A and B are shown apart, each in its own frame.
Chain A
Amino acid sequence: MALAQALQIVSKTDPGRVRSHNEDCVESRPELGIVVLADGMGGYNAGEVASGMATSLIAEGLGGEWKIKELGKLDRSQTMSLCEKVVRAQIARANTAIFEAAQKDPQCAGMGTTLVVGVFYDNYLAVAHIGDSRLYRMRGDVLEQVTRDHSLLQEQIDSGLITKEDARLSHNKNLVTKALGIDPEVEPEFHIYETQPGDVYLLCSDGLNDMIEDEEIQMTLIALRSNLELTAQQLIQSANDNGGRDNVSVIMVKVLSSFAVERGWLARLKSLFS
């Protein structure tokens, strides 16, 4: 089934209750199963510049380079490794562009952005991320955090210095250890996961998970599961009701049906004439 029919995608972004402008950016290309979310940082409007460049460059770049119509000849593992190559190349390209823009324009000096990219294809989801924006997966009634933050706090949790429960009380929540556009090169974390019909994926900026607990995210996804649009709206509203101290963005992707790629001679024949 075509990706656009198999996936329902809703994205929303909100400046929150405190900040005067929105440094988050979201983009999606439903026909290609591509979603991109970025949370920018930097003085003046530089955060917006960085996140805007990241989402538009990567969505556009993948739109050009991730040619799903031409993948029919490849087997599954070949498409997976090609996907990784293409995604990494586009992230590297965006990184260079942001880094160079920051070098040229003093107002943009030091700008950078977090990033989560999701590519849905052939019943799998490829995820690349940098920084503390997250991807969660809701399967059945279980919400799981798929990405691990590149943050000082996560490193402290990993080293055993602080427990996950105590981490909620930390004052060091805002420090990321990796960002796009800060250095000439960046190494995104990349993984591939199998998807199942019924899965709901949530990409979010830290404005969501810093303001509301995972339990509340899970409760909202369960209670409003039949209405994805309202779920996204409710998550943002909860973050704002709890203070809305940061910009808050979500992209939600619901897998409505299988989107396995047809292989075999008939599919090949069809693709020849399409």
Chain B
Amino acid sequence: MAKIILSVDGTVLKEVPLTKERITIGRKPHNDIPVDNLAVSGEHAAIITILNDSFIEDLNSTNGTLVNGKPIKKHFLQHNDVIEIGKHKLKYFNDAPAAAASADFEKTMIIRKPSAAPAAPAPAPAAPAAPAAPAAAPLADTQSMKPAAATPTPPTAPAPAPASPAPGGSGREGAIQVLSGAAAGRTLDLTKNLTTIGKPGTQVAVITRRPTGYFITHVEGASFPTLNGSPLGPQAHQLNDHDLIEIAGVKMEFFYKP
């Protein structure tokens, strides 16, 4: 669950869990987070929380609200954002991203709308008030979430790793150099996830950049391009440093950049 930590001059004053849909911050004592300082307006700002997301809105305060040093009117809070109101700092923590890493958390769920949802504009959220645990009322009702204990879904085997470790593998950038034809000598950096090479309508192949390295696949044309002299076939082939490709009559070399 998300929370904010209120501090002034590096001293932590309190920790506030964002369990309510709307939490107000201001100088007057009726605020959820009263901040007794003349630089703070009576009703200064509000934090609106909808399930796992929170927003801060400045309530037309005299001295304004800063998030990460910039004045805001409304802001979608991200983990570790720092809100400044006068000399007071409120740091926003949302560990939902960590929780979301466990797959079950992300399972699609249905959320019920109250039958007469007021289609009010912001900041009144269109969602029912269920800011507490995600398993709160409106969800429990049609809880379609798989019980976490039922089948722990262990991450299945990671990417089918190539038989031999990719010589460059992740991170290293590849390029191709044209060896024959009109463009001989030219180098093409493979910075995009997909790079097509060849002649449209005649013979085209695509080089895909993947976490495990670069792969070449035939796209169109009656005959396949060749890789180190042998035709590719319909399957993707991993490219190794200094592989020779011939496509649409042009020879080129793949290499990992130093």
Interface residues, chain A, with chain B CB atoms under 8 Å away = 15, 17-20, 39, 41-44, 47, 110-112, 114, 131-132, 152, 155-156, 158-163, 166, 169-179, 182, 206, 216, 219-220, 223-224, 226-227, 230, 234, 237-238, 240-241, 245-246
Contact = CB atoms under 8 A, between A and B. Distances in A.
A155 B126 contact: yes
19 contacts: A17-B159, A19-B103, A152-B51, A152-B126, A155-B127, A158-B126, A159-B125, A170-B52, A170-B53, A171-B51, A171-B97, A174-B106, A175-B51, A176-B109, A178-B110, A220-B194, A223-B206, A227-B220, A234-B206
A111 B144 contact: yes
Q: Closest 8 CB pairs between A and B?
A: A171-B52, A226-B220, A41-B144, A161-B122, A155-B126, A171-B96, A166-B76, A175-B111
A159 B122 contact: yes
Contacts of B51: 152, 171-172, 175
A19 B153 CA distance: 6
B72 interface: no
B97 A179 contact: no
A183 B43 CA distance: 42
A171 B53 contact: yes
B150 A44 contact: yes
Given A112-B110, A237-B210, A171 B100 contact: yes
A210 to B, nearest CB: 8
A162 B53 contact: yes
Interface in B83-124: 94, 96-97, 100, 103, 105-111, 113, 119-123
B159 A240 contact: yes
Chain B interface residue bracket vs A? 35 or more
Nearest to A220: B194
A43 B147 contact: yes
A43 B144 CA distance: 6
Contacts of B195: 223
A19 B151 CA distance: 10
Interface string B215-232: 001011000000000000
A190 B208 CA distance: 37
Nearest to B124: A159
Given A17-B158, A41-B110, A227-B219, A172 B53 contact: yes
A20 B111 CA distance: 24
Given A20-B153, A110-B142, A234 B108 contact: no
B194 A41 contact: no
Nearest to A153: B53
B208 A237 contact: yes
A34 B127 CA distance: 35
Contacts of A132: 108
A2 B53 CA distance: 50
Contacts of A39: 108
A186 B122 CA distance: 27
Contacts of B208: 234, 237
B37 interface: no
A170 B79 CA distance: 11
Contacts of A177: 110-111, 113
A44 B154 CA distance: 15
B193 to A, nearest CB: 7
